[in-house]
Structure 1
Amino acid sequence: MRVPVVHQQGRRRRARYARLLWNTAEVVVTLGVVLLLLVVHQLWWTNRQAKEAAERKVQALERQWEDEKEGEGEREGEREGETEGSGEPLARGSGSSSGSSSGSGFGTGTGGGLSGGGGRPRYDQAYAVLGIPRLGLRVPVAEGVGASGVLDKGYVGHYPDTAQPGRVGNFALAGHRNTHGEPFRYLDRLRRGDRVEVETRAAVYTYVVDRTLPRTSPGDGGTIRAIPRSTVRPAYGYTEPAHYLTLTTCTPQYTSTYRLVVWGKLRSVRPR
C-alpha cells in the first residue's frame, strides 16, 4: 500500500505565484485609478476652476471701469462747478480731444484703450474683454501668452509686440482649445462675417471674421505679423496694412501638433 506524499514545496510555489499575481493586479488597478483621476482633473476640474475665475475677472473689470467712469464724472462736475463759480469760461477742449482720440483707436501707438489709461499693460495684466457672440464667449484678455501666468487661468493672451485693440496692425491673441477653461475650443465654428468684440475701458471694438487658416505649424510667425500672412502656406494672409485681429489655438483637439488661425478686420469703434 502506497502512502500519498504531500508536496509542500509545490504548494508554497503556487501560493507565491498567487500573491505575486494579486499584488500586480492591485498595482495595475491603483495606476488606473490614478490615471483616471488625472484625466478628470485635466478635462473637468481645471476647466471648472479656470472658467469660474475668468468669469469673475470679467465682472471685476466691468465694475472697475464703471467705478472709474463714475469717479471721472464726479471730478469733471466738481471742476465745472468751480470754474462756473469763478466766472471764467469752461475749459472743455483738452478733455474732449483726448476722449475722441482714445475712442477712435485709429492711431499708430500701442496704448489706446488700455484699462490703466495709456502705456503698455504689464505682463499677465487682464485689461480687456473678448466677446464672440456665435460661441457665447466672454473672456478676459491679458498681456502675454505664458501658460501659468495667462492661458492656464482661462484667459486669452495678447501676443507682446503686436498691436493693441483698434490700432493699425495686428491685434493677435492665443487661447487654450482644451483644458484650463478652453475658451477657443469651438474656434473652428467661426465663419466669415461673424462678429468679434473687444471691450476696453475706453471703447468697444467690433471686428468681423474675414479668413481662416485651418492648419499651420506652431512656428508660423507670419500669421501674427502687422500684415498677417502665413510663411508656411503663403496663399493664406494679406498684403495691405489694416486693422487686423488674429485668433490662434491648437489643432486638432487634445493635441498641440498644429495651429488654427482665424483673421478678422475692424469694422467699428463705439466709445463706452
Structure 2
Amino acid sequence: MRVPVVHQQGRRRRARYARLLWNSAEVVVTLGVVLLLLVAHQLWWTNRQAREGAERKVQALERQWEGEGEGDGDGESGGAPSVARSGSGGGAGSQSGSGERHTGSGTVTGTDSRPRWDQAYAVLGIPRLGLRVPVAEGVSKSGVLNKGYVGHYPGTAQPGRVGNFALAGHRNTHGEPFRYLDRLRRGDRVVVETRDAVYTYVVDRTLPRTSPGDGGTIRAIPRSTVKPAYGYTAPAHYLTLTTCTPQYTSKYRLVVWGKLRSVKPR
C-alpha cells in the first residue's frame, strides 16, 4: 500500500506568493490614498486657506484706509506709499468733476517710495473676473504668492508712476488669483487701490505664451525678448499681469498688458 506524499514545499511557496501579492496591494492602495490626499491638499485646502487669508487682508487694508482701526493683526502696517501730489514731481493730468485725473496729455503722479518686503499695501480688482486680492511687495512664494496675494516685481514701477507696474500671481493652487487671466480682453478694467488713490488701468494687449525667462515683458517699456512683435516702444504708465500657462504647469508664461486710464485720489 502506497502512502500519499504531501507537497508541503509547494504549499509554502503559494502562501508566500499570496502574502507578497496582498502586501503589494496594500502598498499600492496606501500610496493611492496618500496621493489623493496630496492632490486634495494642493487643489482644495491651499486654495481655501489662501483665499480666506487674502480676503481678510483686503478687509484689513480697507479698514486702515478708512481710519477704522490700527494694524491688521499680523505685524504689517499695511499702509501704501504716499501718492505724490500735483506740484511735486510733475503736474497732474486733466482734472474731472469726480476728482479723477486722466492721463490724456499730463503726467499722472503716483506712489513713489517702496513698501517693505512682503508687505501687502494695495488691492488689485478685476471686475470681469470678480477678483479683489492684496498686492504685496516681492514675488516670493512663501512670503507672497502662496498666501493668495499678487506679488509686485521688485524694480518695476509703483502704481501711477511712469514705467511698468508689473505683477505676478498663481494660476493654480494657493488661492489661484490669476486662474482666469486668459479671459481678459482689450478694454477690460483693472483697478489698483492704495491708501491714497484708486488707479484704473485698461487692458490693451495680451501675450498668450512666452518663456519664463522673458524679462522684457516687465521692463519699463515692456516688449517680449522672445516674441518681439509683442510689446511697446514708448514710455507710458503700464500695467503687466503675469502667470503660468498652460494650467497646472509652469512651462510658459501668460502676459496681459494694460495702460493707466485715470487716477482718483481718496
Q: How many residues align?
A: 238
Closer, same or farther: CA 132–96 of 1 in aligned 2, 3 Å: closer
Question: TM-score when scaled to structure 2?
Answer: 0.85
Tell me the SS of whatever aligns to 2:6: coil
Tell me the SS of whatever aligns to 1:23: helix
Q: Is residue 122 of structure 2 the alignment partner of residue 122 of structure 1?
A: no
Counterpart amino acid of residue 36 in structure 1:
L
Counterpart amino acid of residue 6 in structure 1:
V
Q: Is residue 6 of structure 2 the alignment partner of residue 12 of structure 1?
A: no
Equivalent residue number for residue 199 of structure 2: 205
Measure, in 2, the Cα distance between the counterparts of 1:159 and 1:13: 64
Q: Deviations over 1:90-109 (max 9, x none)?
A: xxxxx9968x97x96824xx
How far has the Cα of 1:3 moved from its partner?
A: 2.6
Q: Deviations over 1:245-266 (max 9, x none)?
A: 0000000000000000000000
Percent identity between matched residues is 88
Comparing both structures, which one devotes a greater share of its residues to helix? 1
Q: Is residue 176 of structure 2 the alignment partner of residue 176 of structure 1?
A: no
Closer, same or farther: CA 36–69 of 1 in aligned 2, 3 Å: closer
Measure, in 1, the Cα distance between the counterparts of 2:151 and 2:128: 20
Equivalent residue number for residue 24 of structure 2: 24
Measure, in 2, the Cα distance between the counterparts of 1:155 and 1:143: 10
Equivalent residue number for residue 189 of structure 1: 183
How far has the Cα of 1:2 moved from its partner?
A: 3.1
Q: Is residue 49 of structure 2 the alignment partner of residue 49 of structure 1?
A: yes
Counterpart amino acid of residue 183 in structure 1:
P
Question: TM-score when scaled to structure 1?
Answer: 0.83
- Mapping of 1:1-272 within 5 angstroms? 1-67=1-67, 106-107=108-109, 112-113=110-111, 119-272=113-266
Measure, in 2, the Cα distance between the counterparts of 1:264 and 1:69: 33
Closer, same or farther: CA 64–177 of 1 in aligned 2, 3 Å: same
Whether the aligned pair in 1 keeps the contact of 2:136 and 2:152 (CA below 8 Å) is yes
Tell me the SS of whatever aligns to 1:6: coil
Measure, in 2, the Cα distance between the counterparts of 1:205 and 1:170: 13
How far has the Cα of 1:15 moved from its partner?
A: 0.6
Q: Deviations over 1:76-117 (max 9, x none)?
A: xxxxxxxxxxxxxxxxxxx9968x97x96824xxxx44xxxx
* Structure whose alpha-carbon radius of gyration is higher: 1
Query: Unaligned 5+ residue runs, structure 2?
Result: 71-84, 93-99, 102-106
